[in-house]
């Protein structure tokens, strides 16, 4: 991660970051799991089910190229989930998963979306709150 995006993530995380997680909330508050679930299954906002599958029996055509979300809350800590949603490229620069809270250092971004994050800090926290419930 470079420049302003790194500074933004560092500032919002309270300056605390390890190589494997972002321990502090990006918004300064806990997220809402119900709103997070709605973002995860929303095929226009989160697009998570394009690549991932999980405990969403009402959703057809779930992905199979990303890890199954079942049990993610047991496998990863809240901070580890936060980093993987906010900027998975910090862990794997070759990942195809989008960085939902990164706005700089990206390529092939439509002009209307340049300089913007895919999700807000509050939405990231909502998704994190939901994913941590998937034990």
* Residue 19: per-residue pLDDT: 83
Within 13 Å of residue 90, how many CA atoms lie on the same side as its CB? 24
Q: What is the mean pLDDT of residues 71-95?
A: 96
Q: pLDDT tens digits, residue range 8-46? A: 444 444 445 568 999 999 999 999 999 999 999 999 999
| Cβ 39 vs Cβ 126: under 8 Å | yes
Average pLDDT over residues 46-58: 96
Q: For 101-118, how does the pLDDT look when each residue is reduced to its tens digit (9 = 90+)?
A: 999 888 888 888 899 999
> Which tokens belong to 114?
């340049």
Share of the chain above pLDDT 90, in %: 79
Q: Is the pLDDT of residue 122 over 80?
A: yes
Q: At what angle do helices 33-41 and 121-131 cross, to 10 degrees?
A: 100
pLDDT, residue 108, reads 84
Q: Which domains does the chain have, with CATH numbers?
A: 3-131 (1.10.760.10)
Instruction: Supply the DSSP string of 53-101, one letter for each residue.
Output: --S-TT--S--SSSPP-TTHHHHS-HHHHHHHHH-GGGT-TT--S--TT
Three-state SS string over 29-62 comes to CCCCHHHHHHHHHCCCCCCHHHCCCCCCCCCCCC
Q: Are 81 and 131 in contact (CB under 8 A)?
A: yes
Q: Centre a 10 Å sphere on the Cβ of residue 129 and count the other Cβ atoms it contains.
A: 20
């Amino acid at each position: 991660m470079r420049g302003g995006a790194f500074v933004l993530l560092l500032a919002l995380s309270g300056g605390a970051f390890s190589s494997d997680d972002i321990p502090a909330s990006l918004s300064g508050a806990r997220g809402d799991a119900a709103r997070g679930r709605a973002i995860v299954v929303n095929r226009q906002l989160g697009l998570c089910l394009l690549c991932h599958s999980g405990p969403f029996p009402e959703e057809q055509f779930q992905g199979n190229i990303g890890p199954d979300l079942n049990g993610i809350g047991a496998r990863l800590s809240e901070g580890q989930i936060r980093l993987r949603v906010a900027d998975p490229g910090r862990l794997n620069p070759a990942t195809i998963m989008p960085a939902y809270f990164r706005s700089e250092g990206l390529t092939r971004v439509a002009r209307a979306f340049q300089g913007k994050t895919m999700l807000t800090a509050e939405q990231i926290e909502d998704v994190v709150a939901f994913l941590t419930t998937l034990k």
